[in-house]
Structure 1
Amino acid sequence: MLPSFLQDLFKDQSYNPDHFFLIAGPCVVENEELVMEVAHKVSSICKRLEVPYVFKASYRKANRTSANSFTGIGDDNGLSLIKKVGEAFNLPTTSDIHAHEEAAMAAPFIDILQIPAFLCRQTDLLVAAAETGKIVNVKKGQFLSGPSMKFAADKIKKAGNEKVMLTERGNTFGYTDLVVDYRNITWMKEIGVPVIMDCTHSLQQPNQTSGVTGGNPQLIGTVASAAIATGADGLFIETHPDPSCALSDGANMLRLDLLEGLLEKLVKLRKAVV
C-alpha cells in the first residue's frame, strides 16, 4: 500500500494499489515536442496497465562529463515545459535540483524534488528541499550503502517534512562501471520510506575517455525485474523515442517503443511476488 502522500499524489489517476509506481521520461527537456510525445505515450501505457505514473525530465543537467555537453534550454523554459506536461496530461512531475536556492525556484513547477546521487549528503540542499513542503526523492550516492541513507532521510524529516523517498542507483565499481547490490532495497525500506530502483542510471558506464558516459540499456529489464522481485515500491526509467539522438544519457536510456512490453512483464511479475 502506498503511503498517504503518494496516494494524494496519484489521486487523479486510476491505478491498482498493488502495483509499483513509475517515474519515467527523457533525461532532459530538449524541446516541447519531445516531452509531450513521451508523456502522451507513457501515460497511455500506464493508464491501461493501472500503473501510477510520474513524468520526469531534468530542466537542467548540472552534472556532465564534458564542458561541451548539453545542459538544457534554460531553467525557466525547462521548468515551464515540465509544468505544461503535468497540466496537459494531469500528471505529477519531477526534476532534479542541484543547489539549495533551486528548491524554492523549482517547487512551484513540479511535485517531487529529486536530489542527485552525488549531492545526497548536502545538508543545505536537503533542508531547502524539505522546507518547500514538496515530496523529496533522494538518490543514493554511488559511494554509499543503503543503511547510510537513513541520515539523508533524517535531515529531511527533522526539517519538518515526512514526504521522503529514496532511490537506489548502483555503486561505483572500479572507474568505469556500476553494480547494483539489491540488499540496499531491503535495507532502505527498513528506514520506513518508499524505495525506488533507478533502472537506467544504474547501468551507466561513467568516466569514459571520450567524455561521454556509456551504458548497458539492454539490461534495463534485468535490473527492473530484480528490483520488483526484491520489493522495490517504484521504478525510475529514462526513455526516449531515439536514444541515439538524445542530448543527454542516450547510452543508457530505454527506447520508448520498448517500454510497453517491459511494463507488461513487470506488472505480471509484481502480481506473482506480492
Structure 2
Amino acid sequence: MQLSSLPRLRHLSSGNFFLIAGPCAIEGEDMAFEIARHISEVCDDLHIPFIFKGSYRKANRSRIDSFTGIGDEKALGILQKIGEEFQVPVTTDIHTEAEAAMAAQYVDVLQIPAFLCRQTTLLVAAAETGKAVNIKKGQFLSPEAMKFARDKVIDAGNEQVLLTERGVTFGYQDLVVDFRGIPVMQSLGSPVVLDCTHSLQQPNQSSGVTGGRPALISTIARAGIAAGTDGLFIETHPRPSEAKSDGANMLPMDQLRPLLEKLARIREAIR
C-alpha cells in the first residue's frame, strides 16, 4: 500500500512515522473535536502524517452494561466532520459485513478488530468498499499468519492494506509485544503499525473492566520506532479516568506532544 493513496494525509515527504490516534470511542462531538484539534496541531508542528481514529460503536465489551456508543449515524457523522474540518483521513472499527458498506460512506480507512482478523466475509466486505483496510493482528496469531488475512483483502481486489501489531496473549490477564513481528509483517508488503495502547491492556479482569499500564506507552512506542515500525497507533483522551471506554489504557492528551517529540528524534536518528 502507498500511504499517498489516502486522501488528505499530509507530511508524507517528512520521512517521519505516521500516527493513527484519537479516543477509543466517539463520546460526543465536542470531545472528539477537542482531541482531533490537539493531535492535528501537534502533528502539523512535528510534520507527522496523522489519521484520526474513533470507534463509532464498541461491539466487543466485557460486560453487558458497558458503553457501546452514541448512535451509529451520529458517531459516523462526527468522524466525517472531523475529516473535513481538519483535512485528515479518518478511521473506525467495523464488526460485520453490513457495517463495512455503511462506515465506508463516512471514513477513509476501515479497521478490522483483532478478534475478527480471520473473519473471511468481513475482510472481503471491507475490501470490496475500495477503502484502505487496517487489519489488527489477533492476540492469538503469529506475525507470519497475518499473510493469510492480508491475502483475503488483496484477493478481493484491494491492495490498500495496513497491518497492526497489538500484542500477544500472555497468560489470562496480560499481553506482550514481540518486536520481531514488525519486520516479519513488513516483509509481506504492507505498512506495519504498532498499537502502543492496546498492547498494554490487561484483559479478563474480575471486575469485567479491562485494565492497562499506560505508564509504559512511551516505552512501547520508543521501542517500536527503534525497531522500524512504519506507524504508531495511540489512543488518547484529555481525561482518561472519565473516558467511557478503555480509559485504563489511554495516554493523557497533555502527554502526547512531548512523547511525539521524543519519537521524532529517535526516527531521525535511525534514518
TM-score by length of 2: 0.98
Q: Distance in 2 between matches of 1:266 and 1:92?
A: 22
- Corresponding residue number in structure 2 for 1:18: 15
- Corresponding residue number in structure 2 for 1:104: 101
Q: Residue deviations 1:187-227, cap 9 Å, x none? A: 10010100000000000000000010000000001001111
Q: Distance in 2 between matches of 1:233 and 1:119?
A: 23
Helix, strand or coil for the counterpart of 1:252? coil
Matched-pair contact (CA < 8 Å) for 1:16–1:51? no
Q: CA deviation at 1:11?
A: 4.9
Q: Is 1:187 equivalent to 2:184 in the alignment?
A: yes
Out of 159, 169, 172, the position equivalent to 1:172 is 169
Q: Distance in 2 between matches of 1:181 and 1:14?
A: 29
Give the alignment of 1:21-60 within 5 angstroms: 21-60=18-57
Which portions of structure 1, spanning 4 or more consecutive aligned residues, are displaced by more than 6 angstroms? none
- Corresponding residue number in structure 1 for 2:88: 91
- Unpaired runs of 5+ residues, structure 1, are none
Out of 249, 253, 266, the position equivalent to 1:252 is 249
Give the alignment of 1:184-263 within 5 angstroms: 184-263=181-260
TM-score by length of 1: 0.97
Q: Residue deviations 1:10-45, cap 9 Å, x none? A: 655244441000000000000111100000000000
Matched-pair contact (CA < 8 Å) for 1:170–1:181? yes
Out of 97, 113, 116, the position equivalent to 2:113 is 116
The residue identity in structure 2 corresponding to 1:93 is V
The residue identity in structure 2 corresponding to 1:225 is R
Matched-pair contact (CA < 8 Å) for 1:15–1:47? no
Q: Residue deviations 1:103-153, cap 9 Å, x none? A: 001001000000000000000000000000000000000000001000000
User: Structure 1 230/10 Cα, relative in aligned 2: closer, same or farther at 3 Å?
Assistant: farther
Out of 144, 148, 157, the position equivalent to 1:147 is 144
Q: Distance in 1 between matches of 2:12 and 2:132?
A: 20
Q: CA RMSD in A?
A: 0.9
Q: CA deviation at 1:101?
A: 1.0
- Unpaired runs of 5+ residues, structure 2, are none
Identity, in percent, stands at 61
Helix, strand or coil for the counterpart of 1:156? helix
Q: Residue deviations 1:160-180, cap 9 Å, x none? A: 000001000000010000000
